Each structure stands twice: as structure tokens, then as C-alpha cells.
């Protein structure tokens, strides 16, 4: 087994690169930036879920000559924001398909006046019948998208599911549902756009993927690539919520800037951001599972349906990851997964940490506990009997070449949480207490990097250069939004180049400066881009040895002297590397078979939950998470990712409900969309098992999304353990607990003395 190589910087918790600026209040987020002569933009949005636009009226009490108004007809290129399919207009043209869809844009030098103007635009509609749920959409009685309301479907098949049922000792069925979830990054979406004939378009913004925005702007403005420049500003949280949406808001601000001839700032307030931007896809997952008498899986039939909202955006790729994570970390000879993502007349659902996996992992991990109950088997034992190991194959027939240590992760989680002793204690205490405590577990994997052939198609380019003033710069379009990109990539470069961490800086995240290292998504940065930076750094050393006489063993001074020499002869010191797929990676997009991901991160989590049978509240009291995600590059940042992901997962399970009324988010305020606060999060204990992955940066695999996958099933399994009642839908709110617990065990009101 690989053991971590000895390193000086990798594996240590150096201060984060941009940390000082953030702590001084000096970091410049988009709303902190002003441009000379800047105007302010705002968006007029639909108030109905689906309708033809009959007319647009402008209140005569406003002097519209002071404003710039942009309509769909002003778009110089294509009226499309295309992530995968070209179905979403940049501005509605004659028809709206969801509430809060952008219809037109206004700009004015005074940001207060521009708000007044939005309220003075009156749109008249001719309503069309809307569809709001997966059930309505799949019936296909009202068609709201394409020929059949279906954005995408997948079929994954292994073995022969149909003939497995007859010789099964047990067949267990279940249905599991998850709700929408809002990212609730604390910084709302925002951009500034500027246009001039000579330089073209420049957009600054809070975003994850500068080159996604760049590509969108090329299409909307019909400009050549060198006339569009996208610069990421300090970004106050993203979680996937700034993967696809910035293409929309950037296009809007740029249209206003082009028409008014001034820089335009377009910033959403919280109410607008919550109402109009993407959320996590709601889902319904059905399982039918065959097992033999010993509890070994014989066949799994899984049906996944997700709500994609009004336009396709990233729904097909979210569905793909949902599909590939749905069978869980188990071996099963016969698997069939059918999945569909459906159109509804709601704001399009989009990327969110986990990207489909939290939905289907909730289903399988809740379902495993239901199976265990039917088989009268310990849920831990049922999992152990079916865990996948090295040398076995997944549902896509991917051979697990690397070690898989689920048993070890489970053992460690049980030991660290003192699982058995706690359960015995609760078994004694629960019968005599109105507070019922329970423990629940979840075991799961998260595929690192893009799915299937995705990384090969991205063909990422990244590297390092050394400037004349002695700065070693990391050249990537991979962005920092709190997770630690800057720090981790600088560590990798400094380690490989045998320099100090302080010698390395990040080149500005500006499409005019850095190469396209792909989007900052899919838990790919430390593993895929980290490896590119490691390779580019090694390549630079080789070049310096060949071209500038750098000795085999070199000092910091010799390194920079060699750089000066190389610069004098060739004009620059730069080293770029392109993605090189690990060997034997094969993926069949048609059959959905092969190496679904280049690597997997694995985790076992334990939740301790207390259910109060008087108030019907469920509270997570303590949480343990053990994971194997390759080499840990930065222990403090890595633990921060796990803890933050778990807190978000606790919110997903117990607090965060997106309430839709007529297709519009009704609780679009922080007052009534409830996330866990400092008083709600339990102590979270994080433990690592490190198995370096040779194709990841210094052995890293992805960790960003992994921790969000497990809390919801672990928590609902703990609720079952505590109360004996199964809950299969999240979020699980006190009213849901009341409805089912009260029905099953009516509790007498305590006597008032």
C-alpha cells in the first residue's frame, strides 16, 4: 500500500493565501468595487409560472429617457444561455416558463432609481397551464418542454435483473424523496460589466468558472474570444450556485453596459437571489432490491426521477452523477438504474455540492436500513456483507483497482463514536425519557472529477510561470471561493519546485491571463489540477536543468538564477501541462459502462440524534465522519471542508425547506429559509485514513462534495433508531415528525400541576 511521500509543505496547515486580506476586511468582493461612471442594473422578472407575454407597459410617471432598457431584441448574438442544450433564453422573448424569469433589464446611474423603475414596468400575460411536480411532468398530459417534458434519461444495466427476483429470499421496496435546497452562499450573485469597441467586453464577478462565463458571452454577443475577458473577484461562497448562474447575470450586465456605454453593476439582493437563482434538484428515488437468505445483494432495481425546473441547464449531468452514485458502495451482480429528469415551471435547478449524489445516496443508505429491518439484521452487518472491495466491480463494471477500505472506515467510525456503548445506553434511557436518542450511519463514495469521459473532454491546461520580479505564479482558471484552491495549488507548486510557500502566488483569475484549467467543480481541483501543477513544476525543473544549467540538487537562489538565465535566452519562464488521463480509463457513454470516475473518495459517517417527543424537534447532538480521500494536502482546510459540508448536510436533512407557491419560492428570505446556526451545529469529529492516489496532486482525491452526501441518511437512520419509525423524505421538520409519531405513538400531554 502507498504511504505518503515525505514533504515539507504538502500535508502542513500553512496560512491560506488570501487569508490576511479576508481578516482585515481588505479582500475585494464584487460589491466592494466601483468603476468610474458606473451605472446600476436591475431585472424585470415574470410574476407568473408559464405564459405568453401580451404587452409590456412603462409607467408614464417615470421619465424613461433617463434610463436604459434592454429587451431580447437588443441581443447582438444568440438569445441563449447554453450550458449543454440551447433552450434557455438570456431574456424571455414572447413567453415565460417560470416565475422570476428575466424579461427585460434597466440601468440608471442611481441604484435606488433603478429599483423604482423595475416596479414601474407592467407586463401583461396570457397564462398557459403550468406543471409543478415530477408527477405532473412525467404524466405528459401538459407538455412544457420538448416533445415529452424529459430533459434526459439514462439506463444503466449490469447482469440480469429480471431473472434474479424468482430465487430471492427477500425482496424489499422503498420510495425516498428529497427537497430542493438553496446554496445560501452569504455573498449574493453579482457582476460588473464594461464594454468598449477596442477591447470588447470585460466582466468582473462572483463566480466559479471564468471560462463558462466567457463561452456564454461569446455566444450572446457574437464576439471573437479575444474580445471577451472574464475576471473572478473574491467570491463569498458558491457551493455550485455560482457554476451556471453567473453566465446569466454576466450576460445581463454586459447587455446593459453595451447599450448605455457605461460600466454597469448588477448585484442581487437576498430576496432576488433566493427567488431567481438555481437550487438543488428535488428527487424521488424508488428501490426494489433482491437479497439471498444471508443478506447478500442479488439484484437492485432503481428508478430515479428529478425535477429539473424550466430549462435544462446542467440537469442531465446532475442526473448522470445521481445515477452513478445510486447503487451505493456495494457489490451487486445484477443492477438496473433507470433515471429521468423532468421539466417543470419553476426556476431551473442547477449545480449544488454533491451534484445529484446526495439525493440518491440518501435513498440507498436509508433503504439499507429498511432492508436490515426486514431481514432482522444489524444495519452495520448488512453493509459489511455487501461492501465493495478492491478487485470487485461497480454497477458500471468498473474494476476497483485501488484499495477500498470501507471495513476499516466503518470500524474506525464505530470506535471513535463509541457506537455500541452509546446504543446500549440509549436502549436503557429511551423507555423512561421523553427524549429518544438514536445513532445512524451512512457509508458512501463520491467520484472525484468529471464523470466518464468528462475530464478527457475538458482537456484542461494549467501550469506555472516565473516573472521577472521573482514571483512564481500558478496559472489556472481554477478559482478560490473559500474551499482553498489558492492555498492548496500554491503548496503543490512550492513543494515540487523546492521553494518556500511564500515564493508562490496565484496569477489573477482572469481569462486574459490564465489558461483554461476547466471549471472549479466536481471535487476536481486538488486531484486533477493539483496533479497538473505538480507535473508542470517538474517539467519546469527539467527545462531549467537542460537550458539553464540548474544543478541536480539546487538551492532557492540557484533556482531563481536559472530562471533569470532562461528568461534572458527565451524571453519567458513558463511551463504548462495538459490533462493526461490515467491509463486504462475507458468509458462508454452509450451503454453507461466503464470507468465512471478516475478515483473515488470514501466515507462512513455516524450521527447521534435526539428526538423530543414533546416538541417533535429532532436535533443532531454529535457527528463523526471518517474518510479516505487520498492524501490530505492541508489538514485544517480539509477538515474545514468536511465540517462545512456536514453542517450543510444537517440543514438539508432537518431545516432547509424551499416552499413553492404557484412555482415561486415563497420563503425567499433568510428569516424563513432556515439554515443551521452556531447554536444548531453539533460537535463534528473528523478522522482521516490516507491512501495516496498516484494520479492526483501529491496523492489527493476530491473532498469538497463528499461530506454533504452522508448526513441526511445518517440522521434519518438515527431518527428511526431513536423512535422506531421510518421517515423517507427530507427535509424532516417537526410537523412531519408530529404527523407520523403522533399517529403511531400518541403521547399524553404532561399533566399541568
Partner 1 sequence: MSGPQSPIRLKVNDQSCNVTVPPMKRLLDVLREDLHLTGTKEGCGEGECGSCSVRMNGELVNSCLIPVLQADGASIETVEGLERHGVLHPLQQAFLHCGGAQCGICTPGMLMAAKHLLEHNPHPGLAEIREGLAGNLCRCTGFMRIFASVLSAAANSETTHAR
Chain contacts with partner 1 (rule: CB under 8 A): 13, 15-16, 18-29, 31-32, 110, 112, 183-188, 234-239, 269-271, 481-484, 636-637, 639-640, 643-648, 669-671, 675, 677-679, 681, 683-684
Q: Cβ of residue 238: shortest distance to partner 1, in angstroms?
A: 8
Q: Shortest gap between Cβ of 20 and partner 1 (angstroms)?
A: 7
Q: Cβ of residue 42: shortest distance to partner 1, in angstroms? A: 15
Burial of 670 (0-12, 13-18, 19+ CB in 10 A): middle
Closer to partner 1 by CB, 521 or 544: give it: 521
Q: What are phi and psi of 706, to 5 degrees?
A: -45, -50
> How does DSSP classify residue 356?
T
**Which is closer to partner 1, CB of 23 or CB of 196?**
23
- Between the alpha carbon of residue 528 and those of residues 237, 473, 641, the distances in Å are 22, 18, 18
Q: How far apart are CA 548 and CA 567, in angstroms?
A: 9
In which element (H, E) is residue 297 found?
strand 297-309
Nearer CB in complex with partner 1: 15/551: 15
Chain Cα centroid distance, residue 197: 37
Give the nearest distance from C-beta 109 to partner 1 in angstroms: 12
Tell me whether residue 100 is exposed, middle or buried, using C-beta atoms within 10 angstroms of its C-beta: 0 to 12, 13 to 18, 19 or more: buried
Give 454 or 651: the residue with its C-beta nearer to partner 1. 651
Residue 119 CB, nearest approach to partner 1 (Å): 16
Least Å distance between CB 236 and partner 1? 3
Q: How far is the CB of 242 from partner 1 (least distance, A)?
A: 11
DSSP 8-class letter at 749: P
Minimum distance from residue 639 beta carbon to partner 1 (Å): 7
Q: Are 266 and 190 in contact (CB under 8 A)?
A: yes
Nearer to partner 1, 497 or 684 (CB): 684
Whichever of 515 and 676 has its CB closer to partner 1, that residue is 676
Cβ closest to partner 1, residue 379 vs residue 651 = 651
- Say how many residues make up the chain: 753
- Alpha carbons 742 and 719: distance in angstroms, whole number: 14
User: By the 8 A CB rule, do 375 and 291 touch?
Assistant: yes
Residue linked to cell 434557455: 88
Classify residue 364 by burial, with Cβ atoms within 10 Å: 0-12, 13-18, 19+. buried
- Smallest distance, Å, CB 49 to partner 1? 26
Which has the closest alpha carbon to 592: 368, 327, 314, 281? 327
Q: Which three cell numbers stand for residue 62?
A: 417615470
Q: What is the dihedral angle through the alpha carbons of 322, 323, 327, 329, rounded to the nearest 10 degrees?
A: -60
The owner of cell 431584441 is 73
Closer to partner 1 by CB, 87 or 234: give it: 234
**For residue 557, how many other CB atoms are within 10 A of its CB?**
8
Give the nearer residue to partner 1 in terms of CB position, either 116 or 407. 116
* Other CB atoms within 10 A of residue 413 CB: 25
C-alpha 355/C-alpha 447 separation (Å) is: 11
User: Which residues make Cβ contacts (< 8 Å) with residue 128, sequence separation at least 6?
Assistant: 50, 51, 52, 95
Q: How far is the CB of 275 from partner 1 (least distance, A)?
A: 13
Q: Which grid cell sits at 365? A: 443508505
User: Nearest Cα to 322, choosing from 447, 205, 218, 411?
Assistant: 447
Q: What is the DSSP string of 431-481?
A: GG-SEEEEEEEEEEEEEESSSTTHHHHH--EEEEEE-TTS-EEEE-----S
Q: How far is the CB of 601 from partner 1 (least distance, A)?
A: 18
Q: Which is nearer to partner 1, 243 or 465 (CB)?
A: 243
Please, what is the minimum distance in Å from the beta carbon of residue 34 to partner 1? 9
Alpha helices in 326-378 (DSSP H): 357-375
CB 519 to partner 1: min, Å: 17
> What is the smallest separation between the CB atom of 623 and partner 1, expressed in angstroms?
9
617 exposed, middle or buried (CB, 10 Å; 0-12, 13-18, 19+)?
middle
Short-list 50, 15, 169, 41, CA closest to 664: 50
Closest to partner 1 by CB, 18 or 721:
18
Cα distances (angstroms) measured from residue 359 to each of 180, 253, 305, 348, 354: 10, 34, 10, 17, 9
Nearer to partner 1, 605 or 723 (CB): 605
Q: C-beta of 73: minimal distance to partner 1 in Å?
A: 32
Interaxial angle between packed helices 245-260 and 210-221, expressed in degrees from 0 to 180 and rounded to the nearest 10:
50
Is the C-alpha dihedral spanning 543, 547, 552, 556 positive or negative?
Answer: negative
CB of 478 to partner 1, least distance (A): 15
**C-beta of 20 vs 399, nearer to partner 1:** 20
Of the pair 372, 637, the CB lying nearest partner 1 is at: 637
Closest CB to partner 1 among residues 347, 637: 637
- Judged by beta carbon, residue 250 or residue 639, the one nearer partner 1 is 639
Amino acid at each position: 500500500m502507498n504511504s505518503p511521500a515525505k514533504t515539507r509543505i504538502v500535508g502542513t496547515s500553512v496560512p491560506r493565501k488570501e487569508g490576511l486580506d479576508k481578516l482585515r476586511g481588505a479582500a475585494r468582493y464584487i460589491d466592494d468595487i466601483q468603476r468610474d461612471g458606473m451605472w446600476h442594473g436591475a431585472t424585470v422578472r415574470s410574476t407568473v409560472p408559464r405564459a405568453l407575454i401580451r404587452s409590456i407597459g412603462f409607467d408614464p410617471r417615470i421619465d424613461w429617457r433617463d434610463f436604459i432598457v434592454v429587451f431580447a431584441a437588443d441581443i447582438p448574438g444568440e438569445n441563449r444561455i447554453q450550458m449543454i442544450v440551447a433552450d434557455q433564453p438570456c431574456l424571455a422573448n414572447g413567453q415565460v416558463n417560470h416565475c422570476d424569469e428575466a424579461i427585460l433589464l434597466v440601468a440608471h446611474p442611481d441604484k435606488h432609481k433603478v429599483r423604482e423603475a423595475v416596479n414601474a414596468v407592467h407586463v401583461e400575460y396570457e397564462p398557459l397551464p403550468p406543471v409543478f411536480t415530477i408527477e405532473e411532468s412525467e404524466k405528459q398530459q401538459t407538455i412544457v418542454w420538448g416533445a415529452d417534458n424529459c430533459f434526459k434519461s439514462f439506463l444503466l444495466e449490469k447482469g440480469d435483473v429480471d431473472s434474479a427476483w424468482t430465487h430471492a429470499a427477500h425482496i424489499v421496496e422503498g420510495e425516498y424523496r428529497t427537497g430542493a435546497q438553496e446554496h445560501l452562499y452569504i455573498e449574493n450573485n453579482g457582476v460588473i460589466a464594461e464594454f468598449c469597441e477596442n477591447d470588447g467586453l470585460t466582466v468582473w464577478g462572483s463566480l466559479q468558472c471564468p471560462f463558462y462565463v466567457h463561452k456564454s458571452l461569446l455566444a450572446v454577443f457574437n464576439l471573437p474570444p479575444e474580445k471577451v475577458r472574464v475576471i473572478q473577484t473574491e467570491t463569498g461562497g458558491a457551493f455550485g450556485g455560482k457554476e451556471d448562474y453567473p453566465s446569466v447575470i454576466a450576460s445581463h450586465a454586459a447587455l446593459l453596459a453595451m447599450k448605455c456605454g457605461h460600466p454597469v453593476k448588477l448585484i442581487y439582493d437576498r430576496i432576488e437571489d433566493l427567488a431567481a437563482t438555481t437550487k438543488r434538484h428535488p428527487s424521488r428515488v424508488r428501490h426494489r432490491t433482491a437479497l439471498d437468505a444471508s443478506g447478500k445483494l442479488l439484484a437492485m432495481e432503481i428508478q430515479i426521477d428529478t425535477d429539473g425546473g424550466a430549462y435544462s441547464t446542467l440537469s442531465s449531468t446532475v442526473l448522470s452523477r445521481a445515477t452513478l452514485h445510486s447503487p451505493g458502495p456495494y457489490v451487486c451482480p445484477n443492477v438496473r438504474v433507470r433515471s429521468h429528469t423532468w421539466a417543470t415551471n419553476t426556476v431551473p435547478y442547477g449545480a449544488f455540492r454533491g451534484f445529484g449524489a446526495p439525493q440518491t445516496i440518501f435513498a440507498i443508505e436509508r433503504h439499507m436500513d429498511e432492508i436490515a429491518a426486514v431481514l432482522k439484521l444489524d444495519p452495520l452487518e448488512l453493509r459489511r456483507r455487501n461492501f465493495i472491495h478492491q478487485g470487485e466491480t461497480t454497477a458500471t463494471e468498473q474494476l476497483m483497482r485501488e484499495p477500498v477500505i470501507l471495513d476499516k472506515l466503518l470500524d474506525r467510525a464505530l470506535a471513535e463514536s463509541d457506537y455500541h456503548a452509546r446504543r446500549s445506553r440509549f436502549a436503557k434511557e429511551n423507555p423512561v425519557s421523553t427524549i429518544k436518542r438514536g445513532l445512524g450511519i451512512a457509508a458512501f463514495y463520491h467520484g472525484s472529477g468529471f464523470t466518464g469521459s468528462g475530464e478527457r473532454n475538458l482537456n484542461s491546461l494549467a501550469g506555472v510561470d516565473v516573472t521577472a520580479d521573482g514571483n512564481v505564479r500558478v496559472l489556472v482558471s481554477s478559482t478560490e471561493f473559500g474551499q482553498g484552491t489558492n492555498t492548496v495549488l500554491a503548496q503543490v507548486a512550492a513543494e515540487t519546485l523546492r521553494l518556500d510557500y511564500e515564493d508562490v502566488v496565484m496569477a489573477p483569475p482572469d481569462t486574459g491571463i490564465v489558461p483554461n484549467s476547466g471549471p472549479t467543480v466536481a471535487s476536481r481541483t486538488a486531484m486533477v489540477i493539483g496533479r497538473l501543477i505538480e507535473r508542470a513544476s517538474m517539467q519546469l525543473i527539467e527545462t531549467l536543468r537542460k537550458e539553464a544549467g540548474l544543478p541536480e540538487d539546487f538551492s532557492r537562489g540557484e533556482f531563481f538564477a536559472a530562471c533569470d538565465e532562461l528568461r534572458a535566452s527565451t524571453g519567458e519562464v513558463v511551463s504548462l501541462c495538459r490533462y493526461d488521463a490515467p491509463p486504462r480509463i475507458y468509458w462508454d457513454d452509450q451503454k453507461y459502462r466503464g470507468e465512471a470516475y478516475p478515483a473515488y473518495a470514501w466515507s462512513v459517517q455516524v450521527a447521534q440524534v435526539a428526538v423530543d417527543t414533546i416538541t417533535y424537534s429532532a436535533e443532531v447532538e454529535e457527528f463523526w465522519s471518517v474518510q479516505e480521500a487520498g492524501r490530505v494536502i492541508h489538514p485544517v482546510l480539509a477538515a474545514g471542508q468536511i465540517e462545512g459540508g456536514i453542517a450543510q448536510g444537517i440543514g438539508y436533512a432537518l431545516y432547509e425547506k424551499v416552499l413553492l407557491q404557484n412555482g415561486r419560492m415563497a420563503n425567499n428570505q433568510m428569516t424563513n429559509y432556515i439554515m443551521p446556526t452556531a447554536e444548531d451545529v453539533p460537535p463534528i469529529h473528523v478522522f482521516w485514513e490516507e491512501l495516496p492516489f498516484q494520479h492526483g496532486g501529491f496523492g489527493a482525491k476530491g473532498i469538497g462534495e463528499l461530506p454533504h452526501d452522508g448526513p441526511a441518511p445518517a440522521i434519518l437512520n438515527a431518527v428511526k433508531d431513536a423512535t422506531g419509525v421510518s421517515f423517507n423524505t427530507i427535509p424532516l421538520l417537526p410537523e412531519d415528525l408530529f404527523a407520523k409519531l403522533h399517529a403511531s405513538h400518541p403521547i399524553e400531554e404532561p399533566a399541568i400541576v
